[in-house]
């Protein structure tokens, strides 16, 4: 086993931090929660993390059976990393941390990087299960080539990769604007006015989506004027 520092405390939280508490580890978990990733993909989407440190972190996670290597194509040449069953159980905790962390998201700096696929976990984290409505419908998001949606059915809401079959609302924006809206630094209405967000769908669906995600939509009458109703 790779030698790592330990808190030396007989406690579940301390034991979890012995595995996950090193810098970059949870961000590697974030990437793998969206599916298997090759080493080169992880390195590309975690700018600032050097190859030696990534290799060390992955080795440690594999040794602790949080991550495993998988041969996605069956060739033995393009190995990927994926979460084990133990690793997948981190999903609720990571989503809770992401939701909590939105309170601390500041304005984007020149040195900050953002990836469109992070929006999927952001949406999943923002879903407020207490605000799921009775209407069965879906809301689609298109963020710089990444497409995902929320499906509401039978009183439950879930985030799904890929396009919706018949979305009641379609939102198109860039990754930075998406994060700013999610953190509450920019309302959907303000983003529409500045041309950073386009919405297609009925105003009622838009407002239900905002309610589900805990977003301040702005006055309904004003928002309605900027939403393109689908024919």
Q: Which CATH number fits domain 12-88: 3.40.50.300, 1.20.1630.10, 1.10.10.10, 3.40.50.720?
A: 1.10.10.10
* 27-69 pLDDT per residue, tens: 999 999 999 999 999 999 999 999 999 999 999 999 999 999 9
For domain 118-226, give the fold.
Nonspecific Lipid-transfer Protein; Chain A (3.30.1050)
| pLDDT above 90: residue 76 | no
Greatest extent of the chain over all pairs of C-alpha atoms, in Å: 63
Question: Environment class of residue 227 by beta-carbon count within 10 Å: exposed (0-12), middle (13-18) or buried (19+)?
Answer: buried
Q: What HEC string does the chain produce?
A: CCCCCCCCCCCHHHHHHHHHCCCCHHHHHHHHCCCCEEHHHHHHHCCCCCHHHHHHHHHHHHHCCCEEEEECCCCCCCEEEEECHHHHCCHHHHHHHHHHHHHHCCCCCCCCCCCCCHHHHHHHHHCCHHHCCCCCEEEEEEECCEEEEEEEECCEEEEEECCCCCCCEEEEECHHHHHHHHCCCCCHHHHHHCCCEEEEECHHHHHHHHHHHCCCCCCHHHHHHHCECCC
What distance in Å separates the CA atoms of residue 184 and residue 215, rounded to the nearest whole number? 7
| pLDDT above 90: residue 72 | no
Average pLDDT (83-99) is: 97
**Percentage of residues of the chain with pLDDT beyond 90:** 83
* Domain parsing of the chain, residue ranges: 12-88, 118-226
* 145-190 pLDDT per residue, tens: 999 999 999 999 999 999 999 999 999 999 999 999 999 999 999 9
């Amino acid at each position: 086993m790779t030698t790592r520092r330990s808190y030396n405390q007989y406690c579940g939280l301390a034991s979890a931090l012995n595995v996950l508490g090193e810098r970059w580890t949870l961000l590697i978990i974030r990437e793998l929660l969206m599916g298997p990733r090759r080493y080169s993909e992880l390195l590309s989407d975690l700018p600032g993390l050097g190859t030696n440190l990534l290799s060390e972190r992955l080795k440690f996670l594999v040794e602790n059976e949080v991550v495993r290597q998988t041969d996605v194509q069956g060739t033995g040449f393009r190995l990927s990393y994926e979460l084990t069953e133990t690793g997948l159980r981190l999903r609720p905790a990571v989503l809770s941390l992401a939701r909590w962390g939105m309170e601390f998201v500041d304005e984007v700096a020149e040195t900050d990087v953002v990836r469109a696929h992070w929006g999927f976990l952001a949406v999943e984290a923002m879903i407020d299960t207490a605000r799921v409505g009775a209407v069965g419908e879906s809301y689609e998001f298109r963020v710089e080539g990444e497409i995902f949606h929320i499906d509401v059915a039978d009183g439950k809401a879930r985030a799904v990769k890929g396009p919706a079959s018949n979305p009641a609302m379609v939102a198109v924006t860039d990754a930075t604007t998406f994060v700013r809206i999610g953190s509450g630094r920019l309302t959907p209405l303000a983003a529409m006015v500045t041309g950073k967000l386009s919405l297609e769908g009925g105003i009622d669906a838009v407002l239900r989506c905002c309610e589900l995600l805990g977003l301040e939509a702005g006055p309904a009458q004003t928002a309605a004027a900027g939403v393109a109703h689908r024919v």
